[in-house]
Chains A and B, each alone.
Chain A
Amino acid sequence: MKNFDVVVIGGGPAGLAAALSARKKGASVAVLERDDKLGGILNQCIHSGFGLHYFGEELTGPEYAKRFRDAVLQDSGISVFLETMVLSLSKDKIICALSPAEGLLEIQAKAVVLAMGCRERSAGAIALAGERPAGIYTAGAAQRLCNIDGCLVGKEVVILGSGDIGLIMARRMTSEGAKVKLVMEIMPFSSGLKRNIVQCLNDFDIPLRYSTTVTRAEGKDRLTGVYIAPVDEKLAPILEKEEFIPCDTLLLSVGLIPENDLVSDMIELSPITKGAVVDERRETSLEGVFSAGNVLHVHDLVDNVSEEAAIAGESAALYALGKLPRGEKYAVTPSRGVRYALPQRIQAGEGKVRVYFRVDQVYRGKTVAVASGGEIVKRKKTAVMAPGEMQYIEIDKTALTGDVSIYLEEV
């Protein structure tokens, strides 16, 4: 059995930032990564646009990953285990993992950081009707095949879902010589960032149809096309308006789900984020187990992941070294226009806390309010808020006198 103060499960952006911040507090750290290289999904995100907040410059995914990877690999206090699949984590923090180099590996951790990221929703997850021929991929799978393995998955492409990966892949497939005929979004708004609609679709004259979905896929061996139709207010397809679009590839960018299989029976999960319920230290309902990045809630920006994971890593180190402060906790509850808020608990005390939240639809000119113990403690005016763009509001802990609610005024 190996022993570490902090074991980080997952070597993507969250895991690497958590490992580095845990080291800064003097903990011994292990990072367990399933892939043969650290960096996670950033390695396949070859486009630029990362790091503006965190590094003050615009980097591509591989460049952003490299900065963290190099720092981790240079730190002799961090042990990296690659090609290592974690099989189980017990309540007393014994991790059982498998790797070609180590065989069966047992590790006793004093604290654990969950940084496993998320998975894409697949054709099965959205109950896609019709045939199951070759040519139906999640956008991220197509991205990996393209950018890491150098394989273009198709020539005539239709994309369902306007999440950022779908938009990015529309441009990527076009750049590699494929024809992207259409991007569809079932909602009347995009779940992706505005700038991706501009630079990935508009720049390449790729049409985007809102309130439209795929009704069925057709093709025996290879996809030959998809039927699409507009949807009504209840998101049900209007079948009289169904039309056929010939294509050999359908990419799905229809949402991401935190990958919490390892701990789903052990820690409290939020039914909305599908990630752990945490306090502002990113500690889960199981003492000494912390969570950060896309396994906690799906982020739009890796910069936010790095920031969040640094909090989790530092807190895990403090816990392992017996220095994590404890106190009364207030519940944070979203209402009126706010779909979720994170952290879901805030420990009484001093200092500032950023509460991250998402709204449930597009709002213009609304004021976000935070109340505690029945009194409003913070208000913030906003121009435009969309569900695809994570928001935050900073509150002073000393102002809190009881449970916290966050909502939009006049909603």
Chain B
Amino acid sequence: MNTVCIMCPIGCALSVTEESGKIVVTGNSCLRGQKYGESEFVCPKRVVTTLIKGEKGGVVSVKTAEPVEKKLVKEVLKEAAAFRLSSSVRAGEIVLENVAGSGVALVATADYDAK
């Protein structure tokens, strides 16, 4: 499998292969790239960032606290779009637990004052 590492802005061209049961990553220039290559091969994951709407207007930016499986990204976005925030939150606080059954929480990345 050939891919481009997204761990940092350098964008190393990675080649990932399986050799006698072992995953071999080449083209990376750091350990993060090695891990990304392995993860892309086994189960690609992404940090999802989006907006949550307030019940009475306004929006707050959120992110998944950890990368979630890539195949769940659409579900995460759908659930986030349907959710309405009823109280104020501060950056870093959990807005929605276990989003789309991913086991990962959505966390506010900015402050939001409910009107």
Contact = CB atoms under 8 A, between A and B. Distances in A.
Contacts of A60: 49, 61, 63, 109
Contact of A150 (B6, B49, B59, B109): B59
A155 to B, nearest CB: 14
Interface in B54-93: 57-59, 61, 63, 70, 73, 77, 81, 91
A203 B91 CA distance: 27
Q: How large is the interface on B (under 10, 10 to 19, 20 to 34, 35 or more residues)?
A: 20 to 34
B105 to A, nearest CB: 15
Interface residues of A, number: 30
A352 interface: no
A176 B14 CA distance: 30
B64 to A, nearest CB: 9
Interface in A165-191: 175-177
Contacts of A52: 7-9
A344 interface: no
Contacts of B53: 150
Contacts of B51: 46, 146-147, 150, 176
Given A63-B91, A66-B91, A203-B70, A195 B9 contact: yes
B95 interface: no
A165 to B, nearest CB: 15
Contacts of A375: none
A195 B6 contact: yes
Given A62-B61, A194-B4, A203-B46, A177 B81 contact: yes
A202 to B, nearest CB: 9
Contacts of B77: 175
Nearest to A204: B73
7 contacts: A48-B49, A148-B59, A195-B4, A195-B7, A198-B4, A203-B46, A203-B70
